[in-house]
Amino acid sequence: MKLYTQLTLLLITLLATACTSLSEEGQTAVVSNLGGTHFYSLSSLAPANNPQSTLRIGVGPVQIPRLLTRPQIISRKNSNEIIMAERHQWGGSLREEITQTMTDNLSTLLKTDHIEQYPWKFAFKPHYQVRINIERLDGKVGKNVILKARWRLLKNNKEVLSKHALINTPARGKSYGRYVKAQSKALEIFSQQIAGKIASFKK
């Protein structure tokens, strides 16, 4: 009788454990199904302390390919197949995000507050204007981000420089958050290249 009771208690314990596991699995599935869309934004360099340069910079227009105008974050499975992440999207327009990020970065790197986005007011007369054509800003989540762009530098409305940029930055982590961070890093490097050229023209 004692053995029977012990076996019964053991059986009840096993059934209870199994039910708990099924309940937890079901709850995980429900939570997953009810999980909302994650929204992201690019990050830029911290503002410079007491920027004192009187250099006036105009940023834009900035163009991006039609593929990147979608709200979904775009990545690549291979060279020919893309992935549109329905649950990972931009919080706003990616073109505006890129423009703002480049503006903030150049303001910090060149230590000037006299910087405007295209189209600027008629009264604003930039010393230099940077026109940017982003051809690619994607990659593989968990691996890397590739930024491919062409940009032109104008002084007094005359082109003084035309350059091509190809930047490959690692995505240090398998999350979309890390992927977006790698995109921000690519834009930071791109900004450094542009700022370096502008600084060389100033000398």
Q: With 70 as the cut, is the pLDDT of residue 164 above it? A: yes
Query: What 3-state class would DSSP assign to 37?
Result: coil
Q: What pLDDT digit, counting tens, does each position of 59-71 carry?
A: 999 999 999 999 9
pLDDT for position 39: 95
Q: With 70 as the cut, is the pLDDT of residue 22 above it? A: no
Cβ contacts of 123-128, under 8 Å, gap ≥ 24? 124/56, 124/58, 125/56, 126/56, 126/57, 126/58, 127/55, 127/56, 127/57, 127/155, 128/55, 128/56, 128/57, 128/58, 128/153, 128/154, 128/155, 128/198, 128/201
pLDDT > 90: percent of the chain: 73
Q: What pLDDT digit, counting tens, does each position of 138-159 carry?
A: 999 999 999 999 999 999 889 9
User: Cβ distance 89 to 39 under 8 Å?
Assistant: yes
Q: What pLDDT digit, counting tens, does each position of 175-199 carry?
A: 999 999 999 999 999 999 999 999 9
pLDDT for position 202: 66
The amino acid at residue 105 is N
pLDDT for position 203: 52
Average pLDDT in the 100-125 region? 95
pLDDT for position 19: 38
Distance CA 164, CA 159 (A): 15
Distance CA 191, CA 117 (A): 15
Q: With 70 as the cut, is the pLDDT of residue 3 above it? A: no
Structure tokens at 75: 């990545």
Confidence band of 35 (pLDDT split at 50, 70, 90): low
pLDDT for position 79: 85
Confidence band of 134 (pLDDT split at 50, 70, 90): very high
User: Cβ distance 83 to 77 under 8 Å?
Assistant: yes
Distance CA 42, CA 97 (A): 6
Q: With 70 as the cut, is the pLDDT of residue 28 above it? A: no
Looking at the DSSP assignment, which residues form a beta bridge with residue 163? 151
**Average pLDDT value for the chain:** 85
Q: With 70 as the cut, is the pLDDT of residue 17 above it? A: no
